[in-house]
Amino acid sequence: MNPYGFALALALAYCAWSALALAMDRHFADINGRGAEPAPAQRRRLRRLGTLGIVLTFGVAVKMQGWTIGPVACIGFLSMAGVLQILSLSYVPARVPGLSRWLLYAVPVLALLWIFDMAA
């Protein structure tokens, strides 16, 4: 397993869980203040981004491990990112959007490193 691919899948999964969590009223209010709710268009966009992140995590896992182990690795990545997301939302909810944003900035760099490492 490539360390860049591992970091890429974990970052994608964390960002996906962040988007799906922010689409929920409770987590959105925890971050943006009491009584705040996402607009319907924002909620749909966050759900779509979360789904896209999970699909991309699956693609990275299958590309790294093949079709026999890849889906199992994807479940592992999603589980690890889910635990990190639970801890983040429990202890530092205000920092979740910033952490997700920085991970999202790191995703293209990790993807390029992963692609170049696979080609070498």
List average pLDDT for each run of 10 residues in the chain, which is 120 residues long.
94 96 86 82 94 97 96 97 94 90 96 92
Q: Please state the pTM of the whole predicted model.
A: 0.93
Angle at 55 between CA 67 and CA 23, to 5 degrees: 150
Given this model, what pLDDT does residue 1 score?
77
Given this model, what pLDDT does residue 39 score?
81
Given this model, what pLDDT does residue 28 score?
85
Given this model, what pLDDT does residue 11 score?
97
Given this model, what pLDDT does residue 62 score?
97
Given this model, what pLDDT does residue 119 score?
86
Given this model, what pLDDT does residue 38 score?
83
**Burial (CB count <10 Å: 0-12, 13-18, 19+), residue 18:** buried
Q: Which domain holds residue 58?
A: 3-119
List, in order, residues 6 or more apart from 94 with CB less than 8 Å away. Answer: 31
Given this model, what pLDDT does residue 93 score?
86
* Number of structural domains found in the chain: 1
